[in-house]
């Protein structure tokens, strides 16, 4: 409906209209708009006070910018006083465009700091501030949006506010497992385990860390690390439908066979076990394309060994 109305009244496509409105903004307005669009994309409205906290503006510039955006109907305020982009489709378009331009970091930082100041240890994890924090400091989101180095810096800025929260250390450690320093990852995830003992997400990431150490650091007792990782992941897989534990066991197991198992028979046996495990995971998650693709990769690796393709012989003379 919104797309049709905009095209009918202005003769422009929604995307063109949204980008034109963004380009027309100046001063503090682009940053205020970016924060509101990002929150809307997360399915959150913001109060006027929250917008101003997220901008970290000590002058009236952001307040005046918000007033301007409301008067132009670029953003709207509901009956409860919460401000949002006038449609989530537009918010998503603006967020994607700002990410493409490399101009989203200020808004991400603002929302993260806002949420970090609102959460409290006694507060239920389903409360609004916790939900906003979980989305805004997710390591995959931060890396995809602003890059690993930005994420590392942001976590450093948030440490004083969130040092008591195991989820903060989980995200910080997960970032280092994937993109950074394995020793820092171990320190951060050990902190997450001490604060959030028993959380299966923390345990899953710890198993990922063990696989990484086994595969990358050749001086360690690699096999015992792999066995420890499997002992952690197997009960998680048995009681949970979460595909992530399957993915860690499958992807890291595949990497383990490629890099650290030399014996052909042992490699075949390991890959066979991985296929059986991933087949169960695919049945539990029939719409999980990533898990299915991983199963196909493991099966291909196994078939390369099982059919024992001989090395190519010498080639004859070419014309």
- What is the tens place of the pLDDT at every residue in 214-228? 998 766 689 999 999
Query: Is residue 208 included in any domain, yes or no?
Result: no
Which pLDDT belongs to residue 10? 47
182 within 8 A of 218, measured Cβ to Cβ: no
pLDDT band at residue 282, thresholds of 50, 70 and 90?
very high
Out of 72, 92, 118, pick the residue that ends a domain: 118
Which ranges in the chain belong to alpha helices (H)? 2-10, 14-23, 29-41, 48-55, 61-71, 88-101, 105-118, 128-136, 139-146, 148-162, 166-179, 182-195, 200-216, 222-239, 243-260, 264-284, 289-306
Mean per-residue pLDDT over the chain, rounded: 91
Report the pLDDT averaged over residues 62-82: 96
Query: Is residue 134 included in any domain, yes or no?
Result: no
User: If we measure between CA atoms, which residue out of 186, 187, 207, 185 comes closest to residue 251?
Assistant: 207
The whole-angstrom distance between residue 311's C-alpha and the CA centroid of its chain comes to 42
Query: Is residue 155 included in any domain, yes or no?
Result: no
In the predicted structure, residue 319 carries a pLDDT above the cut 60: no
Which pLDDT belongs to residue 12? 62
83 within 8 A of 36, measured Cβ to Cβ: yes
Q: What are phi and psi of 28, to 5 degrees?
A: -80, -10
- Report the relative pairing of strands 75-77 and 83-85 from DSSP bridges: antiparallel
Q: Find the domain containing 283 and state its range.
A: 213-305
Read off the CATH number of the domain in which 87 is found: 1.10.10
In the predicted structure, residue 234 carries a pLDDT above the cut 80: yes
How many domains does the chain contain in total? 2
52 within 8 A of 85, measured Cβ to Cβ: no
Lowest mean pLDDT among 24-33, 217-226, 263-272: 217-226
Report the pLDDT averaged over residues 293-301: 96
User: pLDDT for 160-214, tens place per residue?
Assistant: 999 999 999 999 999 999 998 999 999 999 999 999 999 999 999 999 999 999 9
In the predicted structure, residue 115 carries a pLDDT above the cut 90: yes
Q: How far apart are CA 295 and CA 297, in angstroms?
A: 5
Q: How far apart are CA 127 and CA 133, in angstroms?
A: 10
Bridge partners for 83 per DSSP: 46, 77
User: pLDDT for 43-63, tens place per residue?
Assistant: 999 999 999 999 999 889 999
> Residue holding tokens 């970090």?
116
Share of the chain above pLDDT 70, in %: 92
Q: Rounded to two decimals, what is the model's pTM?
A: 0.88
Out of 76, 98, 118, pick the residue that ends a domain: 118
pLDDT band at residue 5, thresholds of 50, 70 and 90?
very low
Out of 79, 100, 118, pick the residue that ends a domain: 118
In the predicted structure, residue 2 carries a pLDDT above the cut 90: no
Query: Is residue 42 included in any domain, yes or no?
Result: yes
């Amino acid at each position: 409906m919104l797309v049709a109305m905009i095209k009918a009244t202005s003769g422009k496509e929604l995307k063109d209209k949204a980008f034109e409105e963004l380009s027309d903004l100046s001063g503090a307005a682009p940053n205020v708009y970016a924060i509101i669009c990002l929150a809307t994309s997360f399915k959150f409205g913001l109060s006027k006070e929250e917008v101003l906290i997220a901008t970290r503006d000590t002058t009236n510039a952001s307040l005046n910018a918000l007033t301007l955006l409301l008067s132009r109907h670029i953003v709207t305020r509901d009956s409860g006083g919460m401000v949002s982009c006038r449609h989530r489709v537009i918010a998503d378009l603006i967020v994607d465009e700002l990410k493409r331009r490399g101009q989203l970091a200020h808004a991400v930082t603002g929302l993260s700091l806002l949420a970090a100041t609102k959460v409290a240890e006694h507060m239920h994890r389903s409360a609004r501030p916790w939900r906003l924090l979980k989305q805004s400091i997710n390591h995959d989101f931060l890396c995809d949006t602003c890059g690993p180095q930005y994420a590392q810096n942001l976590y450093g800025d948030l440490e004083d506010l969130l040092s008591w929260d195991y989820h903060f250390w989980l995200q910080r450690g997960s970032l280092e497992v994937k993109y950074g320093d394995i020793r820092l990852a171990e320190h951060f995830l050990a902190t997450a385990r001490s604060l959030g003992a028993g959380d299966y997400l923390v345990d899953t990431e710890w198993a990922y860390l063990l696989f990484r150490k086994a595969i990358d650091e050749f001086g360690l007792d690699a096999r015992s690390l792999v066995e420890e990782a499997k002992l952690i992941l197997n009960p998680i897989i048995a009681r949970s439908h979460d595909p992530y534990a399957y993915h860690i066991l499958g992807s890291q197991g595949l990497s383990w066979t490629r890099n650290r198992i030399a014996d052909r028979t042992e490699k075949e046996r390991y890959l066979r076990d991985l296929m059986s495990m991933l087949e169960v995971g695919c049945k539990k998650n029939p719409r999980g394309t990533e898990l299915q693709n991983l199963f196909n990769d493991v099966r291909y690796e196994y078939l390369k060994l099982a059919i024992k393709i001989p090395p190519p012989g010498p080639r004859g003379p070419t014309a």
